[in-house]
Chain A
Amino acid sequence: MIENRPWLTFISHATLMLGIALVALPVWMALVASTHPASAFGVGHIPLWFGSAGMETWQTVLFEQAGNGIDTPVWVMMLNSLVMALGITFGKIAISLLSAYAIVFFRFPFRNLCFWIIFMTLMLPVEVRIVPTYQVVANLDLLNSYTGLTLPLIASATATFLFRQCFLSIPGELVEAARIDGAGPWRFFFDILLPMSRTNIAALFVILFIYGWNQYLWPLLITTDDAYYTLVMSIKRMLSVNDGDIAWNQIMATTLLAMLPPVAVVIGMQKLFVKGLVDAEK
Chain B
Amino acid sequence: MTVTFPQKGLPWLLLLPQLLVTAIFFLWPAEQALEQAFYQEDAFGLSREFVGLENFVYLFTDPLYYQSMLTTLVFSFSVAIMGMSVALFLAVMADRVIRGKLTYQTLLIWPYAVAPALAGVLWWILFDPSMGPIALWLGSAGVDWNHYLDGNQAMILVVIASTWKQISYNFLFFLAGLQAVPRSLIEAASIDGASPVKRFWTIVFPLLSPTTFFLLVVNLVYAFFETFGVIDATTKGGPGQSTNTLVYKVFEDGFIGLDLGGSAAQSVVLMAIVGVLTVIQFRFIERKVQYS
Interface residues, chain A, with chain B CB atoms under 8 Å away: 1-3, 5, 8-9, 11-13, 15-16, 19-20, 23-27, 29-30, 33, 41, 44-46, 48, 94-96, 98-99, 101-108, 111, 114, 117-118, 120-125, 127-137, 140, 151-152, 154-155, 160, 168, 170, 172-173, 175-176, 179, 184-185, 188, 210, 213-214, 216-217, 220-221, 232-233, 235-236, 239, 248, 251-252, 255, 258-259, 262-263, 265-267, 270, 273-274, 277-278, 281-282
Contacts and interface: CB of A to CB of B under 8 A. Distances in A.
B11 A29 contact: no
Chain A: interface secondary structure? helix
A151 B18 contact: no
B123 to A, nearest CB: 6
A239 B267 CA distance: 28
B47 interface: no
B26 A121 contact: yes
A263 B110 contact: yes
A3 B183 CA distance: 12
Contacts of B33: 129, 131-132
Contacts of B22: 117-118, 120-121, 155
Given A13-B100, A263-B110, 4 more contacts: A2-B190, A123-B271, A155-B21, A232-B115
Contacts of A210: 112-113
For B36, B100, B112, B136, the residue with the greatest tally of chain A CB atoms inside 10 Å of its CB is B112
B19 A114 contact: yes
Given A106-B11, A107-B4, A13 B97 contact: yes
B26 A120 contact: yes
Interface string B235-256: 0000000000001001100110
B106 interface: yes
Nearest to A167: B2
B117 A132 contact: no
Contact of B250 (A102, A122, A123, A128): A128
Which 10 pairs from chain A and chain B are nearest by CB?
A: A214-B115, A132-B29, A262-B113, A26-B122, A106-B11, A132-B32, A102-B14, A102-B11, A131-B254, A99-B18
Interface residues of B, number: 97
Given A15-B90, A29-B133, A128-B267, A23 B229 contact: no
Interface string B264-281: 100100110011001000
Contacts of A262: 113-115
A233 B120 CA distance: 12
B115 A259 contact: yes
Contact of A136 (B3, B32, B93, B228): B32
A216 B232 contact: yes
A112 B264 CA distance: 29
B228 A127 contact: yes
A232 B233 CA distance: 10
Contact of B104 (A16, A46, A155): A16
B36 A132 contact: yes
B159 to A, nearest CB: 15
A179 B125 contact: no
B247 A127 contact: yes
